[in-house]
């Protein structure tokens, strides 16, 4: 496998030019392990990480309100659709980084290098282990088959994860076919869309529906939980990666971009490069049971047993550019 020559944190830091003393990070990720990672960056480089946390929408609104006087250097958030909101608001500037272009696959970075993916998650089909996978289910398209009427559970179609999935389906199938699929999915619902991804996995475990759709990291959280009831839910369910015999599975991401008015631009680029190092990738991924964006790095948590699958390769920027059409398709199909 291709290995990055300066993959270690220490080597990466040694290669950096002399920089000023801080970088200001606005982050929609909220994990204690991230704080340890930021401390490691400071120890390696002498650059202090000033952290502001909030939801993606809150942070975007704050950056917009601060305008040219914003102290923010980096916005780190989850889902390609949310990153696109930053693009639409003209918050990001292009990053010229040979390190990031080598480390981060093309599908996981903005076409103009306005943001770079850092971790990924697959949106997969869950089924009940005891009942088994319904015959013939292998692709997302199969969720609309008439024989699955009353057998499918999902969260609201307006949730960003389902909007992004639909945005990809529009890209690969075309809008008309994507809408026909959505209508079939709506007919097959076992109940009105409700709850979050974890609730869909719980419903499948309880036998409320034969199939559900959720991101892989929610299953990883259940399996890693200290609560035996959570682990029992994970053990009662299994999942398949859809479309393995054709285009591959829908994969979403968390990512970061340098802001257009960043007062510490070089530090910001160095920090995102640091987050692409092997050590940082493992910490970022394991903190939320995700996959590293760097394909030569493997996670170590429960999801580590499920790394061998074909991802679609659709550029994640599509999740934002097609988002409006995706919402309209779900609405026309009558799926709440």
Name the E strands within 72-115: 74-78
Predicted local distance difference test score (pLDDT) of residue 118: 98
Closest CA to 306 of 296, 298, 314: 298
Domain with CATH 3.40.190.10 in the chain: 9-120+251-303, 121-249+320-333
Helix, strand, coil % (nearest 5) of the chain?
45, 15, 35
Predicted local distance difference test score (pLDDT) of residue 14: 42
Quickly name the fold that domain 9-120+251-303 has: D-Maltodextrin-Binding Protein; domain 2 (3.40.190)
Tell me which CATH code domain 121-249+320-333 carries. Answer: 3.40.190.10
Q: What is residue 9's DSSP assignment?
A: H
CA distance 67 to 153: 42
- Which residues, 6 or more positions from 29, have their beta carbon under 8 angstroms from its beta carbon? 76, 77, 78, 254, 288
In this structure, the dihedral spanned by the alpha carbons of residues 53, 56, 60 and 62, taken in order and rounded to 10 degrees, is -40
Which residues of the chain register pLDDT less than 70?
1-20
Predicted local distance difference test score (pLDDT) of residue 5: 30
* Terminal C-alpha separation, the chain: 45
CA distance 115 to 317: 9
**From residue 203, how far is each of 124, 165, 208, 241, 275 by CA, in Å?**
15, 21, 5, 19, 36
pTM: 0.93
Predicted local distance difference test score (pLDDT) of residue 19: 55
């Amino acid at each position: 496998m291709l290995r990055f020559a300066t993959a270690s944190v220490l080597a990466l830091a040694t290669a950096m030019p002399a920089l000023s003393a801080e970088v200001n990070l606005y982050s929609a990720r909220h994990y204690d392990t991230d704080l340890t990672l930021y401390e490691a960056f400071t120890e390696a480089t002498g650059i202090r990480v000033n952290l502001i946390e909030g939801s993606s929408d809150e942070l975007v609104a704050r950056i917009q309100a601060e305008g040219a006087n914003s102290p923010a250097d980096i916005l780190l958030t989850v889902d390609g659709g949310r990153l696109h909101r930053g693009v639409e608001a003209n918050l990001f500037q292009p990053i010229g980084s040979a390190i990031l272009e080598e480390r981060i696959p093309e599908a996981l970075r903005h076409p103009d290098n306005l943001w770079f993916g850092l971790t990924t998650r697959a949106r997969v089909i869950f089924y009940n282990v005891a009942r088994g996978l319904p015959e013939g289910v292998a692709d997302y398209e199969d969720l609309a088959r008439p024989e699955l009427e009353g057998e499918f559970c999902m969260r609201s179609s307006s949730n960003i994860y389902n909007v992004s999935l639909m945005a990809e389906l529009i890209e690969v199938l075309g809008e008309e076919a994507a809408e026909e699929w959505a209508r079939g999915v709506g007919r097959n619902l076992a109940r009105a869309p409700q709850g979050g991804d974890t609730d869909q996995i719980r419903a499948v475990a309880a036998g409320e529906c034969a199939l559900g759709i959720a991101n892989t990291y929610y299953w990883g959280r259940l399996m890693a939980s200290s609560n035996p009831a959570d682990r029992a839910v994970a053990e009662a369910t299994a999942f398949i990666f859809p479309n393995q015999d054709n285009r591959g599975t829908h994969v979403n991401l968390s990512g970061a971009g340098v802001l257009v008015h960043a007062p510490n631009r070089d530090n910001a680029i160095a920090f995102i490069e640091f987050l692409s190092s092997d050590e940082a990738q493992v910490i970022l991924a394991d903190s939320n049971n995700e996959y590293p964006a760097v394909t030569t790095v493997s996670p170590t948590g429960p999801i580590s047993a499920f790394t061998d699958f074909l991802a679609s390769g659709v550029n994640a920027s599509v999740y934002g550019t097609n988002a409006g059409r995706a919402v309209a398709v779900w609405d026309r199909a009558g799926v709440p």
